[in-house]
Structure 1
Amino acid sequence: MNSLKKLLVATTAICSVTAGAFATDLEVTHWWTSGGEAAAVAEFAKAFNATGNNWVDGAIAGGGGVARPVIISRILGGDPMGATQLNHGRQAEELVEAGLMLDLTDIATEGGWRDIVNPTGLLDSCTVDGKIYCVPVNIHSWQWIWLSHKAFADAGVDVPSNWDEFTASADALVAAGKTPLAMGQQSWQSSGAFGVINVAIGGLDLWTKINVNKDAEAAAGPEMAKVFEAYGAARVLSEGSNVQDWNQATNMVITGEAGGQIMGDWAQGEFQVAGQTAGVDYTCLPGLGVNEIISTGGDAFYFPKNDDPEVTAAQKELAKLMISKPVQVAFNLKKGSLPVRGDIDMSTANDCMQKGLEILAAGNIMPDGNQVLSADTSGQIEDLMVEFWNDTSMTPAEAQAAYAAIIAEAD
């Protein structure tokens, strides 16, 4: 064999190995772009690439509010990605009904998802007409406040154990040059804080009447008025929080610039990346220390339909990996979320995650708003809360009246 033929043979062999190593490229869209989020999503990519396929990262900065319209537009426009993050609930309802999402029932049945997903309501959120269209990957709860030990030490007051103690410490924090409540300017942050205060101050029964039963009278009632008064107080406590992104607000807590932040448990990933320890550098209070309950929202991955059987096979391979034991542990430890599997060892989780696991085990859970309200209703509520948060001339009573009107027409 002459040298040219040898070169051709060698080149062919190299190309064959390369093609086999990356059998299928799969673009995966998501909005996990902060330090902690990036570390977590890398666990999915690593596991998928180990199969010989290739994870093509399609991160969209700006959070779900920015990413979801882009994701949905691409799918409807005939330019679907291979897989995409959405939240548990009704966000993909119309896409599924339009026949644009891959049916995962076969691998869900094979993998016994109905037996391992805890709570089963997460899988119910993936189910339409008896068929399963997504894989739940975590349980994220909004129901937390994160408190900086440094900020309270600088202010000369004890770390609060509940919402009332937190609000009572505000003057000392301000006197020490701190912002009591860190809050980013993205709309979903202030809206999410409203939901947390709603449950902590109003209680689960009131939340259920309004969000599940669509009881407009309860939404306009005196119990809900207390929630709006507390939300108004939170608006005052956030004055001076001039950051945009949620993780920038978290960093204010990490550095001791702010006393606390109402944010979901994904904030834990930022504390981990910063090298901080739960119970030492920061404290977490589920339910604002008032009603210890967690919402069982979170993230799921959907897989838009395509005509390529190799892509379909890669999509199902990724779905199976995402819910597998080792990947569930690796991903959720870095994400700060709780696993969707009830049969894995999370003994290495930090103190805050252990609190969440204990609350979950005790059954003190509630559905996420995305699971009970349509995207349209959720959007209207978010718009109202943003308006109230940014327009200090709007009173809590005025905001409550507008809120009750939305609930009266909710679907």
Structure 2
Amino acid sequence: MKALCAAFAATTAICAATAANATDLEVTHWWTSGGEAAAVAEFAKAFDATGNKWVDGAIAGSGGTARPVMISRITGGDPMGATQFNHGRQAEELVEAGLMRDLSDIAEAENWREVIRPTSLLDSCTLDGKIYCVPVNIHSQQWLWLNNSVFEDNGLEIPSNWDEFVAAAPKLEEAGITPLAMGQQPWQTTLAFQVLLVALAGPETYTKIFGDKDAELAAGPEMAKVFQAAATARDMAKDSNVQNWNDATNMVITGKAAGQIMGDWAQGEFQVANQVAGEDYTCLPGLGVNEVIQTGGDAFYFPKVDDPAITEAQGELAKVMMSPEAQVAFNLKKGSLPVRGDVDLEAANDCMRKGLAILDKGNIIQAPDQLMSADSLVQVNDLFVEFFNSPSMSAEDAQEQFAAIVGSAD
């Protein structure tokens, strides 16, 4: 921590005011797909309307690619004005090192505690009673996305759950269609496993393993079924030769693949392609088995800087991101749910309404980033990259290694 603080001592101002009361603010994030770019443009437009200027600092690739760059800049004395992280513990060391701005005064003045739901989202931004980030959405990874016409054109009923989807796979393969689209980025294979875990073993099992680090449960017979299902998913995705998640989503949109296990951010890609939820595609929360919403998502942190103009602009952006208007505009484009519980979502489509209904019932779980440290999650990611890329690795071997990781996780 001392090294981090020492590095920050060399920080210099990062942006200059373009005019009186107008400040350029560099905002780094990893939203670069079509749907993501359309969503982030809503934040930029709302911030520019304050008289300041959003300077887009998009970093191509996933969060795993972008986060090391962001952290290096902050600890190296070249901080941006604001930066994206996921809800949870990813920025914990930066906050502990005193490198992130305390937003508690803004949160109190804007009544965040009263309007954000569930309140666990704000808790994930809180350390030692102080609030350090702005949660901007609720992203759940617990979804199966299906191309309706792929099933209809092949004389198959559109699946309503995971088992029906698996049963349709042989006929789809005969027709030259990849049953399950899956990119090769590490987090995607882990995501698929986690979704299968919650759907087939249940939310309580998931929370005990990732939250309580229950290694005995991770090695037990209930989880053996999940690993067998993961092996089935691996086989269904064997012809999915793409890297990025949005390329896998595009396989579904174009009918090259029948379905994809992916978070609700995939919906942004369907919207950009002018696909209509409930007509052109079907979304199954919890794989149609255990319908839950994971309270993960994105949040923005604001590195401390010495420039008063930047500090003021940071405060403006924090308020804008939490405003009802920006919350609706951004999340309708992103495919995620707003963090405010008091906004009008009359324009919500079929899939967003499913998510809101589940949220209203209180069927929620925390995201892995909220339950397990970043270092431990990297080990989990590495294991499932190896598993999904190595047909020779058995489900039993993968489960044994997973249980060991869980047992030593923090």
Taking structure 2 as the reference length, the TM-score comes to: 0.95
Q: Deviations over 1:6-25 (max 9, x none)?
A: xxxxxxxxxxx9724x7111
Q: CA deviation at 1:243?
A: 1.1
User: After the TM superposition, which of the residue ranges 165-174 and 22-31 deviates more from structure 2?
Assistant: 22-31
The answer for the alignment partner of 2:83 in structure 1 is: 84
What amino acid is aligned across from residue 175 of structure 1 in structure 2?
A: E
Q: Distance in 2 between matches of 1:375 and 1:18?
A: 38
What amino acid is aligned across from residue 327 of structure 1 in structure 2?
A: A
The answer for the alignment partner of 1:10 in structure 2 is: none
The answer for the alignment partner of 1:173 in structure 2 is: 172
Q: CA deviation at 1:322?
A: 0.1
The answer for the alignment partner of 2:342 in structure 1 is: 343
The answer for the alignment partner of 2:19 in structure 1 is: 19
Secondary structure of the 1:24 match is strand
- The answer to whether residue 360 in structure 2 is matched with residue 361 in structure 1 is yes
The answer for the alignment partner of 1:267 in structure 2 is: 266
Q: How does 1:8-407 map to 2 (within 5 A)?
A: 19-20=19-20, 23-407=22-406
Secondary structure of the 2:84 match is strand
Quote the sequence identity (%): 70
Q: CA deviation at 1:176?
A: 1.1
Secondary structure of the 1:86 match is strand
Q: Distance in 1 between matches of 2:126 and 2:208?
A: 24
Q: CA RMSD in A?
A: 1.0
On the 8 A contact 1:178/1:257 being kept in 2, the answer is yes
Q: Distance in 1 between matches of 2:175 and 2:356?
A: 35
Q: Distance in 2 between matches of 1:150 and 1:242?
A: 22
Q: Between Structure 1 and Structure 2, whose CA radius of gyration is higher?
A: 1
Secondary structure of the 1:227 match is helix
On the 8 A contact 2:278/2:350 being kept in 1, the answer is yes
Q: Deviations over 1:347-400 (max 9, x none)?
A: 211000000000000000000010010001111101101110101111000000
User: After the TM superposition, which of the residue ranges 146-155 and 77-86 deviates more from structure 2?
Assistant: 146-155
Q: Deviations over 1:289-341 (max 9, x none)?
A: 00001100000000000001110000010000000000000000000000000
Secondary structure of the 1:185 match is coil
On the 8 A contact 2:18/2:24 being kept in 1, the answer is no
Q: CA deviation at 1:154?
A: 2.6
On the 8 A contact 2:219/2:403 being kept in 1, the answer is yes
Unaligned runs of 5+ in 2: 1-16
Taking structure 1 as the reference length, the TM-score comes to: 0.95
Q: Deviations over 1:234-272 (max 9, x none)?
A: 000001111111111101111111110000000010000
Q: Distance in 1 between matches of 2:111 and 2:26?
A: 27
On the 8 A contact 1:149/1:256 being kept in 2, the answer is no
Q: Distance in 2 between matches of 1:111 and 1:366?
A: 26
Unaligned runs of 5+ in 1: 1-16
On the 8 A contact 2:136/2:321 being kept in 1, the answer is yes
The answer for the alignment partner of 1:13 in structure 2 is: none
Secondary structure of the 1:169 match is helix
Secondary structure of the 1:158 match is coil
Secondary structure of the 2:19 match is helix
Q: Distance in 1 between matches of 2:405 and 2:62?
A: 24
Secondary structure of the 2:22 match is coil
On the 8 A contact 1:296/1:365 being kept in 2, the answer is yes
Secondary structure of the 1:385 match is helix
Secondary structure of the 1:145 match is strand
Q: Distance in 2 between matches of 1:205 and 1:310?
A: 47
Q: Deviations over 1:141-175 (max 9, x none)?
A: 00000000121123221110000000000011111
Q: Distance in 2 between matches of 1:210 and 1:66?
A: 26
After TM superposition, the runs of 4+ consecutive aligned structure 1 residues lying more than 4 A away are none
What amino acid is aligned across from residue 231 of structure 1 in structure 2?
A: A
Q: Distance in 1 between matches of 2:239 and 2:62?
A: 22
Q: Distance in 2 between matches of 1:383 and 1:18?
A: 45
Length, aligned pairs only: 394
On the 8 A contact 1:83/1:315 being kept in 2, the answer is yes
